[in-house]
Amino acid sequence: MPRHHVERHFTGSLVVRDAVIGMADGLTVPFALAAGLTGAIDTTWIIVVAGLAEIAAGSIAMGLGGYLAARSDVEHYASERAREQREVREIPADEAAEVMEALQKYGLHPAEARPVVEALRKRPEAWVDFMMRFELGLERPDPARALWSALTIGGAYAVGGFIPLLPYMLLKHTLTALAVSSVVTLVALAVFGYVKGYFSGVRPARSAIQTVLIGGLAAGAAFLIARAIS
């Protein structure tokens, strides 16, 4: 079986993807919020309180959001599959015509496509699987993933959020804390972007520059807005 080149399409497990989703925002938003508040407030404890409140809010919102997204993938797949099963049973001629049409879009002549359709008609369950993949482009999601997805996203958000916030917890002067937080977080964003690029098939150096730019722009905008209105 020619599996040797299929593996190369693999681009990081679902756990890695969840961790990347959580950490991307966790590193960026609490960093930008703290930087923004430094433009308006000169007591670190308010920034720490706001940062921790943001980490709690963000990790819960993203974690639960991820949970619901994973649950709704499972339900969406189940309901689409039930629909295909019903259609294969009740309007098999329509479904057969759909397969014919789809295969002809790939240049197959009716005479070439018909044996496939006939073969699928004899095997309703395989036919349904074929429609799920070919017509709808859906893969069966793992029902047990929702909880892990939530914990991974939420946890990664919290871990990411503590990196920019720690300097404000340890240092007295807000501007010193901002400077240390910026250096530490931009380095963390660069490392994170590099690793993320590696897993997602983007050139790592370019991915690192992109995540640093996003973090820097978000923090700069937050800083300027907070300074302008205070």
Q: Which of residues 89-118 bind a copy of itself (CB under 8 A)?
A: 91, 94-95, 97-98, 101, 103, 105-109, 112-113, 115-116, 118
Helix, coil or strand: residue 18: helix
Q: Which stretch binds a copy of itself (CB under 8 A): 54-62, 141-149, 178-186?
A: 54-62
Cα separation of 141 and 124, whole Å? 21
Distance (Å, rounded) from C-alpha 126 to C-alpha 105?
A: 21
16 touches a copy of itself (CB under 8 A): no
Is 204 near a copy of itself (CB under 8 A)? no
Q: Which of 14, 85, 135, 204 binds a copy of itself (CB under 8 A)?
A: 135
Smallest distance from a copy of itself to CB 52, Å: 5
What is the smallest separation between the CB atom of 183 and a copy of itself, expressed in angstroms? 18
> Considering the rule CB under 8 A, would residue 121 count as an interface residue with a copy of itself?
no
DSSP assignment of 98-110: HHHHHHHHTT--H
**For the stretch 31-66, what's the b/e string if a residue is b when 16 or more beta carbons lie within 10 angstroms of its beta carbon?**
bbbbbbbbbbeeebeebbebbbebbeebbeebbeeb
Q: In whole angstroms, how close is the CB of 109 to a copy of itself at the nearest point?
A: 7
- We find the least distance from the C-beta atom of residue 15 to a copy of itself, in angstroms, to be 18
Among 16, 180, 200, 204, binds a copy of itself (CB under 8 A): 200
Pairwise CA distance, residues 34 & 54, whole Å: 10
